[in-house]
Amino acid sequence: MTNMHIPRLHPDTIEEIKQRADIVDVVSEHVVLRKRGKDFVGLCPFHNEKSPSFTVSQGKQMYYCFGCQASGNAFKFLMDLGKQSFIEVVLDLARRYQVSVQTLEPEQRQELQRQMSLREQLYEVLAATANFYQHALRQTQAQKALQYLLSQRQLKEETIGQFGLGYAPAGWETLYRYLVENKHYPVQLVEKAGLIKPRKEGGGYYDVFRDRLMIPIRDIQGRVIAFGGRTLTEEQPKYLNSPETELFNKGKTLFAIDLAKAGIAQLDQAVVVEGYFDAIALHAAGINNAVASLGTALSLEQVRLVLRYTDSKQLVLNFDADKAGTNAAERAIGEIADLAYKGEVQLKILNIPDGKDADEYLHSHSTAEYQELLKNAPLWLDWQIQQVTQDRDLKQATDFQQVTQQIVKLLKNITNNDTRNYYVGRCAEILSLGDTNLISLRAENLLTQIAPTTAAYSQPVSTQRQWGSKKTSPSPIPNIERSLLEHAEALLLRIYLHCPEQRPAIIHELEERNLDFSLSHHRSLWRQIVELTNGQVNLISSLQDRYLELAEEIELISHLFHLNETGKKEILRTPQVVQAATACMERVLREKRYRYFLELWQETDPETEPEKWRSYYQAFYTEKIKLQELDRQRQFSITDLL
């Protein structure tokens, strides 16, 4: 909520809502459920399926899909289905079941209720305004605006109605008189909605939007929260947005998200354009997975909002191909580069030929042709490499040096070795200018500049000594060992959650071996477990409640809260499994120490530093003996258990 800290809801409020909001009632409003034994089954709303694999347990107040592993309670169901926050779902259910909302801080209670009331009123006045503008579009004075939509923008009546397009009359107080004098809305409320402003002199108010084509901006649920107005004259600015209000934050809102969310989910891809009419034109052409960024640089909040609806996290930026559009694309990339480097978003860049925007392109091209452009849009790194190298003469020393530096800057942040090696090879080919004999040299030079330490470790020991490298640090965990660690830690946590009698043994093993969970999402879950274990009757339910407020983190650990048939068989042998899992965890860490001391020993000259040489030898040999012992403790393979 704008201008207000998010309240910490009292546990009693959450518990009362859980008691009243039966999960079967909540789910059956969205899924056709049929009774099967003690449970209910239906088609999963989170993925396409023909045979029902979605199960709802009234006794446990939980749902689980055996197809896509979606799971949780009534709160989680509504959060995932409507892409709402925990607070939004709780407040909606509180209103529905008439539960009085309490917060942990009593002073927030009155403010929360006031804010809820204000927001309801704002939705109402904005809906009335949208209807007013739509009605005004059909009046004589709006003929110019209507012709602009029909002729210049080539929109059909169906599209005009779908987007609720309208017209703000030219008078200074037309909307003010309609809302305040005719509809009797409080003037302060209309001002808070961003529709009128107080005059600087003489008192009174004037309309924010005058003689403009009006475009309603809606939230994810389709409620009008603001407007964008396009001038029909030479007035500046050409586009004017509502000011930020209790309901509207342009950095957290995407135009047409309410209409696009289904298309994004269906096509598993989101297209982001710059302008209102680009998005409108795409929807009119049947490309219904498009949204617009409201004329601002794309923010992380906007990206996370749109990515809720795509499993592959594929995002295509279709900004104008002119200089301003290119700059906008680069700004957007700057905001979300970290997500792209980590693989959390599959980012592509589409620049339409001849510098056209999507609206202009579709006036002279078919939907299929635009879809082909989308299909062939380059990944963001490929696009950036194109931007770096275009209009540069790599035969000139200055250009070659500058391009190389920019490429190194791009590639330095790639954490995945396979991806980095691929792009190093690509860029080496570009820098070799067709001379295949130079490719390996260019690749080696790039690797040296991108990650000199990693490059050194990839060479034989003799080569390392030629480079004179003395700085050594533990190597990162290789993928195969990280996978082993992931499995072992997950298995141990699953046993702890579902086998209360094994909890003392697990704690003993961790303390005896001096182990902690290495992966951040497991470490975070373990901290929550430790906090809740004492005196907690239903540990899993309490953990799920906590994680509902941490929507991004729950995706990584939610599968641990449920047991399928295979999982049940695994934990029948819990004492052996606990020992094997902790042995695996310790082995991964010991292996890392072993490599570290071995590298130090190999780099140390026994003639000049004999004591260090012996010390490193003893250290890595000790770790080697310990590894052999741990292998004996692992009586069966963790990977076979999962």
pLDDT of residue 415: 77
Read off the pLDDT of residues 512-531 as tens digits, 9 standing for 90 and up. 888 888 887 888 888 888 87
User: What's the Cα-to-Cα distance from 523 to each of 446, 517, 553, 582, rounded to whole Å?
Assistant: 36, 5, 12, 14
Q: How confident is the model at residue 481 (pLDDT cuts 50, 70, 90)?
A: low
Place domain 108-248 in its CATH homologous superfamily: DNA primase, catalytic core, N-terminal domain (3.90.980.10)
Give the DSSP H/E element, type plus range, for residue 14: helix 11-20
> Cβ(265)–Cβ(309) under 8 Å?
yes
Amino acid at 201: E
Identify which of 193, 259, 192 has the alpha carbon closest to the alpha carbon of residue 221: 259
- Distance CA(332)–CA(322), nearest Å, equals 15
Which of the 8 DSSP states describes residue 180?
A: I
Taking 80 as the threshold, does the pLDDT of residue 40 lie above it? yes
Residue that wins the pLDDT comparison between 258 and 105: 258
Q: In the structure encoding, which two tokens stand for residue 195, read together?
A: 């529709």
Tell me which residue has tokens 């040096």: 401
- Which of 25-34, 385-394, 576-585 is most confident? 385-394
SS3 316: strand
- For the ranges 138-152, 177-191, 470-484, the lowest mean pLDDT is seen at 470-484
Question: Please, which residues have CB within 8 angstroms of residue 411's CB and are 6 or more apart in sequence?
Answer: 420, 423, 424, 427, 446, 450
Residue that wins the pLDDT comparison between 130 and 351: 130
Mean pLDDT of the region 431-451: 81
- Distance CA(395)–CA(319), nearest Å, equals 32
11-103 and 108-248: identical CATH topology: no
pLDDT of residue 475: 43
Mean pLDDT of the region 63-70: 88
Q: How confident is the model at residue 7 (pLDDT cuts 50, 70, 90)?
A: low
Identify which of 229, 197, 199, 350 has the alpha carbon closest to the alpha carbon of residue 295: 229
Would you call 585 exposed, middle or buried from its count of C-beta atoms within 10 A (0-12, 13-18, 19+)? Answer: buried
**Distance in angstroms between the alpha carbons of the first and the last residue of the chain:** 43
- Distance CA(523)–CA(513), nearest Å, equals 16
- Distance CA(166)–CA(154), nearest Å, equals 16
Sheet with 212-218: strands ordered across:
166-168, 212-218, 224-231, 239-241
Identify which of 111, 226, 212, 217 has the alpha carbon closest to the alpha carbon of residue 169: 212
Q: What is the CATH number of domain 11-103?
A: 3.90.580.10
Taking 70 as the threshold, does the pLDDT of residue 449 lie above it? yes
* Mean pLDDT across the chain: 81
- Which of 101-110, 427-436, 569-578 is most confident? 427-436
Domain coordinates in residue numbering, the chain: 11-103, 108-248, 254-377, 386-450, 479-641
pLDDT of residue 101: 72
User: What's the Cα-to-Cα distance from 326 to each of 124, 302, 356, 371, 585, rounded to whole Å?
Assistant: 39, 19, 12, 21, 47
Backbone angle region of 175, left / alpha / beta, with phi > 0 → left and psi within -120 to 50 → alpha: alpha
pLDDT of residue 136: 97
Distance of CA 297 to the CA centre of its chain: 17
pLDDT of residue 516: 83
Read off the pLDDT of residues 313-330 as tens digits, 9 standing for 90 and up. 899 999 776 666 677 677
Q: At what angle do helices 417-431 and 397-411 cross, to 10 degrees?
A: 170
Read off the pLDDT of residues 269-291 as tens digits, 9 standing for 90 and up. 999 998 899 999 999 999 999 99
Backbone angle region of 154, left / alpha / beta, with phi > 0 → left and psi within -120 to 50 → alpha: left
CATH 3.90.550.10 is the classification of domain 254-377: no
